[in-house]
Amino acid sequence: MYNCSTELILVMKRIVFLLIFLTSAQLVHAQLVSWRDVLDLETTKSSHHIPFGTDSLQYGELWLPGSEDAHTSVIMIHGGCWLAMYPGVELMNAMAEDLSSRGFAVWNIDYRRIGHPGGGYPGTFLDVANGADEFIRIAETFNLPKDRIIAAGHSAGGHLATWIALRTQLPVESDLYTENPIHIDAVVSLAGINDLERYAKYGASPCGEKTVEQLIDAANRNDPFADTSPSELLPLHIPLVELSAAFDSPVPPFFGYHFVNDVLQTGGDADLILLQDAGHYEMIYPPSREWNIVLEVFETILK
């Protein structure tokens, strides 16, 4: 009979554990939601399609509750790596519809991106800023809450949602500065890319080569992160919740950890929620179990 040594047994155990881990990871990955799954969800039409500029991409979809008055307003911003090649507001329609069915008024805005004429710096940022400020007029027209406004976005849209909440910190000399920007009361950042410099160095490859640099026009500006990256505009004086997913390859969870830590270190109020079995899109996919966690954030962040 052959007697295995203790060392060999330990090696075999490690190999078995590794195989189990890799198989488990592959199974989780195989079940992850994709952006195509999000688009395949059937939704109704929004309540109103409202332009806020002359370009065909300068518009928003307003989703209103059915018979009841809205209790909270949400300015929603889609992701897609800031790139024209990906879908726009339709990525967030299922999320907007579900929230509106629960008493939220949702203003889901589109904007020019890299690859669109006028996209990048400053157009992408100004479109989002103007779209957000348009909600002041919309809220008056439709009698929507103006003192309970959540900015929410996914991925690149998470970056832009946090950015609009920090616009009051923009220097006057910035091309992105505008007077009297809309006041945001809380931020829900879903896999948000809130530190552009860190993402450009360590995580931007899923979005393509030099995407962040194109977005902020880094080749032609000194200190291009100063007015574009939320991490450079801190402190944040309103509540923020960052949701990150353990199996998120475009925006790994350490980006959320670092940004929340930066907010806390500068005296802000921030929480990080890690979705342990999810990827990049479960958090904007209402059929997922993770959506219940997202809903709870929306329902409690202003309480």
State whether residue 249 is helix, strand or coil: coil
Q: What does the pLDDT look like over 82-119, one tens digit per residue?
A: 999 999 999 999 999 999 999 999 999 999 999 999 99
Q: What is the mean pLDDT of residues 176-205?
A: 95
State whether residue 157 is helix, strand or coil: helix
Q: What does the pLDDT read at residue 112?
A: 98
Of 232, 234, 216, 139, whose CA–CA distance to 183 is shortest?
139
Question: What gap in Å lies between CA 27 and CA 32, rounded to an integer?
Answer: 9
Quote the strand ranges of 191-238, DSSP E: none
Return the CA Rg of the chain: 21
Tokens in use for 240?
């923020």
Q: What does the pLDDT read at residue 124?
A: 98
Q: What does the pLDDT read at residue 31?
A: 75
Q: What is the mean pLDDT of residues 162-183?
A: 96
Side chain identity at 198, as an amino acid letter? Answer: R
Tokens in use for 42?
């059937």
State whether residue 236 is helix, strand or coil: coil
Residue 259 is inside which H or E element, if any? Answer: helix 253-265
Report the b/e string of 196-210 with b at 16+ CB within 10 A: bbbbbeebbeebeee
Count of CB atoms situated within 10 Å of the CB of 287: 13
pLDDT for residue 76 is more than 70: yes
Q: What does the pLDDT look like over 275-302, one tens digit per residue?
A: 999 999 999 999 999 999 999 999 999 9
**CA 219 from centroid of its chain's CA atoms:** 26
Maximum distance among all Cα pairs of the chain, rounded to whole angstroms: 86
Q: What does the pLDDT read at residue 68?
A: 84
Residue 235, preceding peptide bond in cis (omega within 30° of 0): yes
CA distances from 105 to 4, 61, 144 (A): 67, 11, 7
Of 77, 56, 92, whose CA–CA distance to 194 is shortest?
77
pLDDT for residue 8 is more than 80: no
Q: Are 145 and 98 in contact (CB under 8 A)?
A: no
Q: What are the residues whose beta carbons fall under 8 Å from the beta carbon of 251, sequence distance 6 or more?
A: 155, 191, 192, 193, 199, 203, 244, 280
Q: What does the pLDDT look like over 118-150, one tens digit per residue?
A: 999 999 999 999 999 999 999 999 999 999 999
- Domains of the chain in sequence order: 35-300 (3.40.50.1820)
Q: What does the pLDDT read at residue 14?
A: 40
Of 133, 239, 231, whose CA–CA distance to 183 is shortest?
133
